[in-house]
C-alpha cells in the first residue's frame, strides 16, 4: 500500500515535470552542467600569524547581517553552532584585555576603558545551545559557551578568580568561578565588554566565524583591519598563544583577491586571465605551504599578494569566471606556476635560478616584452669596490677588500654566477638567484633587479663577458660560436674543456660554459633589464602579448613549456 502510494506520487510528479518541460523554456545543457558542477575547493589564507598574531581581532559587517559561530571541519566546511545579530564583533584570546584605540590589548591603560576579564561564572552544562541561552538570559551579562563539545551558560567576565567568586556569591549565581584553557577564545561586541560567545575545544577545533548574508540576500563582505573579505574567518591560539587569523573562502574568490594586487585591473582581459590561471595553479600546487600554522597560503608576496576584495574590479572577476577551474599541468601534475614582473628580454631555465630542473620552466628569449613600457627596460647600478666589500661583510662574509669580479653567464645571457676575489686572493662565489640578489643593499639603496645583467668596469671599457654557445642552444640569434685556430681550421666551441684567450689587457682564462672576463676596477657597472626572478611568466610580457592580440592560453603556453591548460 505504502509502496503503491509512492509510485502514484512519483507518477504525478513525473507528469507535472513533463508539463513543466513543455511549458517552460528548458535551460540549455551548458547551463545545467554549470549548476551541477562540483563546488570549488576552499582555501585557507593566513592573515595574521607567528610574529603578527593578535590579542584581539575585530570584524564589521559591510554587506551582511550578523555572524554564525562554529568551527571549520576537516574539509574546511563551516559548521554553525550559534548566531549573533551584532554587526561589529571582536574575537579575543581569553585574557584580561582592555579596549584602547579601537582594539583590545593586554596593556592596561591609565584611563578607565572597557575591560574583558578572563574569569567567568559557569553554570551547569545544558543539552543544547537553546537551553544554555535560556539559562544565561537570566543575567544581564549572561552568554553561552561551547567547551569541549558541551554547552554551558555563563555570566560575567572578571579580571581575577577572587572577583568572579565574590560576584557569584554576592549575585547569588549558582555557578563556579573559572577560566578557560589557553585555547579559549571569547567573542565580544566591539567597543564593549559584552561577551557574546565563548569557544574552547582545546586542540580539536578552533573558533570559526561566518558572516551571514544581508536581508536582501547579497553575499556577505566583512571588514577586517581596514580591508574587506569574502568568506569566513578562523581564530586559533596556536600553542596557547595569541590569535592566528585565517580567512577561509572559495578558491576563485581568493584568486579574485590576488589578481588586482599582482596585475593592474586596467590591463587587457587576456593578460588578467593568464594571471588568474597562473595564480590558481600556484595556489593548488602550494596548498598547505604554511600547514604548520594551520593554513594553506599566506596573504603576502611570500606566497601571493592577497588583500581581500578589490571592489570595482569587475574585469578581474570576469577573468576568474571565464577561466573557472582551469589550471596549468605538466604530465598531469600541477606546475609550480611562478611568475615575475618583467624578464627584461629572456626568462631562464629553473636550474639556473634555483637548483631543481623543472621541464616546464625553460628559459627563452622573450620577443614580446619590449612592446610595452615595463619601467625596467634598462637599469644601471654603479658599485664601488668598497661598497661591494662592505655589502659582503655586512652579510657575514669575512672577505678582505674586493679587487675583482668574474661573472659567468647562461646561454641566454642571464647572469649565472658572480665570483668576487679579495685582496688575499680568496674567492667568494654566488650563483643562480643568489648572484642576482647578493648586491641588494638598503644601506646604499641599490640592487640589481633581476638575473638579466652584465658587469663591466664603470667606464664600460672592458668588454662585456664572452658568451659561448652550445650547438643546440643558439644565443643572441647565433647558432654557435666558432674559433679560427692558428693552423687555419675552424672549430665550433663545445660545452666542455676550457679555452684561453689573449686580450689586449693580458692573458685571461675563460671556461667554455659561458664565463666572462675577470674585471679589475675601483667602480663596477651592472647594466641590466627586468625586475624579478626570470622564471615562468613575465607579467609585462603577458600584457604585451594580450595587446598584440594573443589569448591567455597562448600567453601561458609561451612562458610554460610543454604544459596543458584545463
Contact 332, 352 (CB under 8 A): no
By the 8 A CB rule, do 431 and 407 touch?
Answer: no
Nearer to Zn ion, 32 or 302 (CB): 302
Residue 218 zone, left/alpha/beta (φ > 0; ψ -120 to 50; rest): beta
Please report, as ranges, the residues that interact with Zn ion according to CB under 5 A: 298, 302-303
| CA–CA gap between residue 381 and residue 523 (Å, rounded) | 10
The tally of CA atoms less than 13 A away on the side-chain side of residue 550 is 18
Tell me if 539 sits within 8 A of 275, measured CB to CB.
yes
DSSP state letter for 549 = T
Between 302 and 401, CB nearer to Zn ion: 302
Q: Which is nearer to Zn ion, 281 or 456 (CB)?
A: 281
- How far apart are CB 535 and Zn ion at their closest, in Å? 17
Which C-beta is closer to Zn ion: that of 247 or that of 389?
Answer: 247
* Shortest Å distance, C-beta 306 to Zn ion: 10
* CB 42, min distance to Zn ion, A: 17
How far apart are CB 298 and Zn ion at their closest, in Å? 3
* Residue 46 vs 407, nearer CB to Zn ion: 46
Task: Please identify which residue in the block is written with the cell numbers 657597472.
Answer: 525
Q: Which is nearer to Zn ion, 223 or 293 (CB)?
A: 293
Question: What is the strand order of the sheet 142-147 is part of?
Answer: 176-179, 119-122, 150-158, 142-147, 195-200, 185-189, 88-93, 56-63, 221-224, 227-229
**C-alpha cell recorded at residue 27:** 535551460
In this structure, how many other beta carbons lie within 10 angstroms of the beta carbon of residue 463?
Answer: 14
For residues 212 and 232, the answer to whether their CB atoms sit within 8 Å is: no
Q: Where are the alpha helices (DSSP H) in 172-268?
A: 251-262
Give the E-state strand segments of 25-149 in sequence order: 42-48, 56-63, 67-72, 78-84, 88-93, 97-100, 103-105, 115-116, 119-122, 142-147
Q: Which residues pair with 422 in a beta bridge?
A: 402
Q: Do the Cβ atoms of 40 and 321 come closer than 8 Å? A: no
Task: Return the number of the residue (302 or 331) whose C-beta is nearest Zn ion.
Answer: 302
In sequence order, what E strands does 302-350 have? 328-330, 333-334, 339-340
- How many CB atoms sit inside 10 A of residue 199's CB? 26
| C-alpha gyration radius of the chain | 32
Distance CA 239, CA 308 (A): 27
Q: Which is nearer to Zn ion, 19 or 301 (CB)?
A: 301
Nearer to Zn ion, 290 or 449 (CB): 290
Least separation, in Å, of the C-beta of 226 and Zn ion? 21
**Residues 534 and 452: beta-carbon distance below 8 Å:** yes
In terms of CB distance, is 303 or 455 closer to Zn ion?
303
- Pairing relation of β-strands 339-340 and 537-538? parallel
- Least separation in angstroms between CB 373 and Zn ion: 31
- Supply the minimum distance, in Å, between the C-beta of residue 229 and Zn ion: 17
Nearest to 198 by CA among 210, 212, 209, 213: 209
Nearest distance, CB of residue 297 and Zn ion, angstroms: 6
Nearer to Zn ion, 245 or 385 (CB): 245
- Which of residues 196 and 303 has its CB atom nearest to Zn ion in the complex? 303
Query: 71: Cβ–Cβ under 8 A, 6 or more apart, which residues?
Result: 78, 79, 81, 199, 201, 205, 206, 207, 208, 234
Amino acid at each position: 500500500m505504502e509502496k503503491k502510494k509512492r509510485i502514484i506520487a512519483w507518477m504525478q510528479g513525473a507528469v507535472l515535470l513533463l508539463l513543466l518541460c513543455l511549458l517552460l523554456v528548458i535551460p540549455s545543457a551548458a547551463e545545467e552542467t554549470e549548476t551541477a558542477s562540483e563546488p570549488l575547493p576552499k582555501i585557507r589564507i593566513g592573515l595574521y600569524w607567528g610574529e603578527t598574531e593578535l590579542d584581539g581581532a575585530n570584524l564589521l559587517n559591510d554587506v551582511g547581517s550578523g555572524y554564525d559561530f562554529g568551527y571549520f571541519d576537516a574539509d574546511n566546511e563551516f559548521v554553525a553552532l550559534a548566531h549573533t545579530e551584532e554587526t561589529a564583533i571582536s574575537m579575543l584570546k581569553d585574557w584580561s584585555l582592555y579596549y584602547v584605540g579601537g582594539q583590545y590589548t593586554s596593556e592596561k591603560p591609565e584611563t578607565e576603558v572597557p575591560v574583558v576579564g578572563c574569569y567567568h561564572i559557569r553554570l551547569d552544562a545544558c543539552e543544547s545551545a537553546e537551553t544554555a541561552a535560556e539559562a544565561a538570559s537570566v543575567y544581564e551579562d549572561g552568554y553561552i559557551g561551547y567547551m569541549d563539545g558541551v554547552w554551558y551558560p555563563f555570566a560575567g567576565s572578571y579580571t581575577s578568580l577572587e572577583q568572579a567568586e565574590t560576584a557569584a556569591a554576592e549575585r547569588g549565581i549558582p555557578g563556579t568561578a573559572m577560566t578557560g584553557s589557553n585555547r579559549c577564545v571569547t567573542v565580544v561586541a566591539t567597543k564593549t565588554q559584552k561577551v557574546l560567545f565563548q569557544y574552547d575545544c582545546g586542540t580539536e577545533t578552533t573558533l570559526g566565524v561566518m558572516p551571514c548574508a544581508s536581508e536582501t540576500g547579497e553575499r556577505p563582505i566583512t571588514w577586517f583591519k581596514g580591508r574587506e573579505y569574502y568568506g569566513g574567518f578562523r581564530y586559533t591560539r596556536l600553542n596557547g598563544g595569541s590569535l592566528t587569523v585565517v580567512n577561509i573562502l572559495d578558491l576563485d574568490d581568493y584568486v579574485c583577491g590576488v589578481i588586482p594586487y599582482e596585475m593592474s585591473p586596467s590591463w587587457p582581459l587576456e593578460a588578467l586571465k593568464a594571471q588568474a590561471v597562473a595564480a590558481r595553479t600556484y595556489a593548488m600546487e602550494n596548498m598547505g605551504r604554511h600547514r604548520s600554522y594551520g593554513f594553506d597560503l599566506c596573504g603576502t608576496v611570500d606566497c601571493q599578494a592577497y588583500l581581500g576584495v578589490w571592489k570595482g574590479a569587475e574585469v578581474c572577476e570576469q577573468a576568474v569566471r571565464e577561466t573557472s577551474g582551469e589550471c596549468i599541468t605538466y604530465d598531469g601534475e600541477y606546475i609550480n606556476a611562478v611568475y615575475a614582473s618583467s624578464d627584461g628580454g629572456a626568462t631562464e631555465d629553473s636550474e639556473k635560478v634555483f637548483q631543481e630542473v623543472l621541464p616546464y620552466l625553460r628559459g627563452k628569449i622573450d620577443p614580446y616584452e619590449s612592446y610595452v613600457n615595463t619601467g625596467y627596460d634598462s637599469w644601471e647600478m654603479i658599485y664601488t669596490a668598497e661598497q661591494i666589500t662592505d655589502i659582503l661583510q655586512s652579510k657575514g662574509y669575512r672577505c678582505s677588500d674586493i679587487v675583482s669580479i668574474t661573472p659567468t653567464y647562461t646561454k641566454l645571457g642571464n647572469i649565472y654566477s658572480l665570483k668576487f676575489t679579495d685582496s688575499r686572493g680568496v674567492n667568494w662565489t654566488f650563483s643562480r638567484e643568489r648572484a642576482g640578489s647578493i648586491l641588494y643593499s638598503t644601506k646604499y639603496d641599490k640592487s640589481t633587479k633581476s638575473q638579466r645583467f652584465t658587469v663591466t668596469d664603470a667606464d664600460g671599457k672592458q668588454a662585456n663577458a664572452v658568451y659561448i654557445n652550445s650547438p643546440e642552444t643558439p644565443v643572441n640569434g647565433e647558432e654557435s660560436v666558432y674559433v679560427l685556430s692558428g693552423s687555419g681550421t675552424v672549430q665550433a666551441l663545445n660545452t666542455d674543456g676550457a679555452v684561453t684567450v689573449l686580450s689586449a689587457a693580458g692573458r685571461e682564462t675563460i671556461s667554455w660554459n659561458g664565463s666572462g672576463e675577470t674585471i679589475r676596477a675601483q667602480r663596477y657597472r651592472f647594466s641590466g633589464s627586468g625586475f624579478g626572478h626570470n622564471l615562468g611568466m613575465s607579467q609585462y610580457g603577458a600584457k604585451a602579448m594580450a595587446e598584440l592580440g594573443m589569448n591567455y592560453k597562448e600567453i601561458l603556453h609561451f612562458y610554460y613549456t610543454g604544459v596543458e591548460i584545463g
